[in-house]
């Protein structure tokens, strides 16, 4: 059961922290319901970017001068923040990347290079984002390995019973999404990890849609890798993280070669830097990392249980209102869902609905949401997806439902 809406959580106050939410679109108040694509940014994050370039800009880990030392220590401090944010054992286990996609590619390129060979198997699920499919396909093509898929039912729930028969002594990695971006399903990753670990198989969890909505504890999950993007959790674009258990990261070869990831270089032999720097070649997204630290500060300041309860209340309201609309069908009806409602309207193209809602100032996403296999599973070309964050309001859900009613009147008649 979803928790009930707490009395004390006030989205109106929270909204004040996000300047873009006061924008007008075509003269109408913006109703931003595309949070699964990217979250909006609080002023403190925007200010951190500006402050960094105004007062602290320098390259890191290289300079003896004041600014370089300052920027380096600001950057390094965020690694400690991320460690605590996901409860990793050590900051050596936190690698800064450009985002979820980059983090998964890193694991595919390095873990894959070392541990996956001809005839080995990688198990993913039927509801993966393309970024947790294609890197493995590239690896399989290169190595002659095989990609296997955990199926799901008509509610968009993974069939856990199928997992044991999909695991074999050739399975080298399980890589699953925690929260589906197109269905909203929250997968029982802890159970999947425990199952895989019975066979000593490591597990990567794609947490792109999780970190903004629930607290993550990688030690409690016992996942081997956990990946996420800054921009989906109030931070800037172009920055993200890979958490990896030290035992794995130590064994994996470097990803990209260049500055900062080396201990010493000669034409005969190069030795690599220690963790986590071994995986961070070149000048990183310094301002992005520092602003990500500010996003974590922001999240740490709000009552996350109340925020989560509010999102569940938004989800429940949207679900009930949409279920009342004839010719509208929700895709993704798992009992355990994040604040995402994907739906189709019989006889109407999803993009037309999205474009009509846009004229009302309502931002939703339409299409396959980078999960084409999910659309194939449901035999549909795409959905309309409204995804909520704790700064959304019940009034906005009403506007969404009214907009869908109007879209139906207009588009189904034509």
Q: Which residues bind ligand PLP (CB under 6 A)?
A: 99-101, 129, 131-132, 177, 181, 206, 208-209, 229, 370
Total residues belonging to the chain: 414
Q: Of 127 and 140, which has the nearer Cβ to ligand PLP?
A: 127
Continuous H helices in 302-393: 304-323, 350-359, 372-377
Smallest distance, ligand PLP to C-beta of residue 411, A: 27
Residue 243: which of 269, 217, 263, 266 has the closest Cα? 217
Task: Give the separation between CA 97 and CA 75, rounded to whole angstroms.
Answer: 13
Smallest distance, ligand PLP to C-beta of residue 18, A: 19
Smallest distance, ligand PLP to C-beta of residue 184, A: 11
Q: Of 149 and 262, which has the nearer Cβ to ligand PLP?
A: 149
Cβ pair 49, 287 in contact under 8 A? yes
DSSP 118-178: TT-EEEEETT--GGGTHHHHHHHHHHT-EEEEE-B-TTS-B-GGGHHHH--TTEEEEEEES
Q: Of 370 and 411, which has the nearer Cβ to ligand PLP?
A: 370
Q: To which residue do tokens 């869902």 refer?
A: 337
Smallest distance, ligand PLP to C-beta of residue 22, A: 25
Task: Give the separation between CA 368 and CA 233, rounded to whole angstroms.
Answer: 22
Smallest distance, ligand PLP to C-beta of residue 186, A: 11
CA–centroid distance for 281 within its chain? 23
Q: Of 101 and 339, which has the nearer Cβ to ligand PLP?
A: 101
Catalytic: 223?
no
Q: Of 101 and 171, which has the nearer Cβ to ligand PLP?
A: 101
Cβ pair 260, 273 in contact under 8 A? yes
| Structure tokens belonging to residue 80 | 């400690």
Cβ pair 387, 33 in contact under 8 A? yes
From the list 140, 223, 241, 370, the catalytic residue is: 370
Q: Of 129 and 308, which has the nearer Cβ to ligand PLP?
A: 129
Q: Which residues pair with 314 in a beta bridge?
A: none
- Give kind and range of the element (H or E) at residue 366: strand 365-367
Smallest distance, ligand PLP to C-beta of residue 24, A: 27
Q: Of 122 and 328, which has the nearer Cβ to ligand PLP?
A: 122
Residue 156, phi-psi category: left (phi > 0), alpha (psi -120 to 50), beta (remainder):
left
Smallest distance, ligand PLP to C-beta of residue 5, A: 26
- Can you tell me whether residue 203 is helix, strand or coil? strand
| Structure tokens belonging to residue 274 | 């220690």
Catalytically active residues are: 370
């Amino acid at each position: 059961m979803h928790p009930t809406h707490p009395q004390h959580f006030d989205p109106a106050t929270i909204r004040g922290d996000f300047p873009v939410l006061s924008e007008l679109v075509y003269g109408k108040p913006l109703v931003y319901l595309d949070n699964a694509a990217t979250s909006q940014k609080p002023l403190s994050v925007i200010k951190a970017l500006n402050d960094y370039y105004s007062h602290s800009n320098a390259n890191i880990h290289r300079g003896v001068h004041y600014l370089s030392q300052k920027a380096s220590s600001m950057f390094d401090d965020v690694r400690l923040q991320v460690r605590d944010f996901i409860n990793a054992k050590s900051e050596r286990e936190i690698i800064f990347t450009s985002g979820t996609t980059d983090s998964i590619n890193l694991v595919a390129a390095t873990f894959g290079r070392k541990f996956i060979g001809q005839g080995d198997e990688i198990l993913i699920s039927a509801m993966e984002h393309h970024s947790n499919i294609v890197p493995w396909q590239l690896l399989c093509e290169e190595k002659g390995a095989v990609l296997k898929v955990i199926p799901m039912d008509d509610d968009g729930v993974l069939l856990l019973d199928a997992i044991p028969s999909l695991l074999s002594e050739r399975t080298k990695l399980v890589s699953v999404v925690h929260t589906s971006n197109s269905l909203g399903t929250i997968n029982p990753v802890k159970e999947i990890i425990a199952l895989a670990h019975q066979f000593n198989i490591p597990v990567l969890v794609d947490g792109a849609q999780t970190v903004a909505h629930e607290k993550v504890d990688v030690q409690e999950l016992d996942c081997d890798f956990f990946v996420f993007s800054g921009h989906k959790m109030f931070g800037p674009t172009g920055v993200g993280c890979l958490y990896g258990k030290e035992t794995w990261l130590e064994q994996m070869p470097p990803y990209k070669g260049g500055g900062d990831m080396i201990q010493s270089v000669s034409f005969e032999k190069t030795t690599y830097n220690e963790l986590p720097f071994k995986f961070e070649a070149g000048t990183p997204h310094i301002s992005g990392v520092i602003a990500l630290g500010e996003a974590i500060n922001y999240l740490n300041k709000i009552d996350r249980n109340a925020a989560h309860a509010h999102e569940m209340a938004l989800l429940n309201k949207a679900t009930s209102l949409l279920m009342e609309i004839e010719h509208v069908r929700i895709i993704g009806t798992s009992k355990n869902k994040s604040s995402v409602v994907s739906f189709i309207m019989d006889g109407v193209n999803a993009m037309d609905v999205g474009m009509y809602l846009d004229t009302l100032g309502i931002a939703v996403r339409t299409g396959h949401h980078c999960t084409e296999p999910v659309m194939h599973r449901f035999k549909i070309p795409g959905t309309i997806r409204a995804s909520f964050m704790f700064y959304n309001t019940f009034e906005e859900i009403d506007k969404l439902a009214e907009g869908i009613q109007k879209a139906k009147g207009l588009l189904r008649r034509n």
